[in-house]
Amino acid sequence: MSKDFWEDSIEVGYYDKLLKKGLQKNKGIQPAWHHLTFLEISENINNENIHLDYATGPGTFIGIYLDNDRATGVDISTQQIKFAKNNYSDNKFYTLEEFDASSYKEYFETITVIGLIEFLNDEEVVNLIKYLKSLLKANGEIIFSTPNFKGFMSFFSILIRHIGPVNYQEQWVNKFNKKTLTKLLKANNINNFSIEKHLNFALSLSFFSLDLGVKASRFFSKLFKYNIGWLLILKLNKQ
């Protein structure tokens, strides 16, 4: 995917503003999607860790959901990084061009990649994992999220075209489900990982109450032992 798409197709800070508006009104399925995704991932991160949020967008995740001044955000979009710097100045933000990876070899303890690999082909996904592993300390962890393109998510992906500002249908390269993502990792000798499913049908209650939708979705996720859901969360250890 080109840099132009992220610079030109998405309003600067759009999803940050959408989330905050939803939190303020305590309603909305789209804000609930982002809110619960960030909640689930943040609970896997120690705020004392040296953390990298790769493809950070407007910086919302580390700016709101982590209490960590050792967190760094990197993104391809110059405008989104500018927004992040202006709104979350307690953290460090860099464009890809500014980020000198050679200075961060085996530096980070956790890395998050929230919503990126669905825009990459198989080779790019594997190369990204290898690249990010080079930035991890021993026993570090990378956490990815990507939609679970199976069952109802196929319908939901069509619905997104009508409720969001961007038609991602033409941008998605990989439509992973747990089976296909596992197959790709194992085929490339990438081991020591787990995949859970989150954000299930109960999230639709967020149309009436965001708090209710989030609590109900988390309840059913736990009840079904994270085997149902529209979102895949991949946890990958360096060793």
pLDDT of residue 5: 45
Pairing of strands 193-198, 51-54: unpaired
Q: What is the pLDDT of residue 89?
A: 87
Provide the pLDDT for residue 100: 94
DSSP 118: G
The structure's pTM equals: 0.91
Neighbours of 201 (CB within 10 A): 13
For residues 203 and 213, what is the distance between their CA atoms, to the nearest angstrom? Answer: 4
> Residue range 82-109: average pLDDT?
94
Tokens representing 174 are 């990989």
Between CA 209 and CA 86 the distance in angstroms is: 30
Confidence of residue 113 (pLDDT cuts 50, 70, 90): very high
Q: Is the pLDDT of residue 168 over 70?
A: no
Please give the average per-residue pLDDT across 127-132, as a whole number.
97
Question: Percent of the chain having pLDDT more than 70?
Answer: 87
Query: Residues 196-206: what's their mean pLDDT?
Result: 95
Lowest-confidence segment of 113-117, 147-151, 174-178 by average pLDDT: 147-151
Question: Helices 210-223 & 29-42, crossing angle to 10 degrees?
Answer: 50
Cα 94 from Cα 84, distance rounded (Å): 9
* DSSP states along 2-37: -HHHHHHSS-TTHHHHHHHHHHHHT--HHHHHHHHH
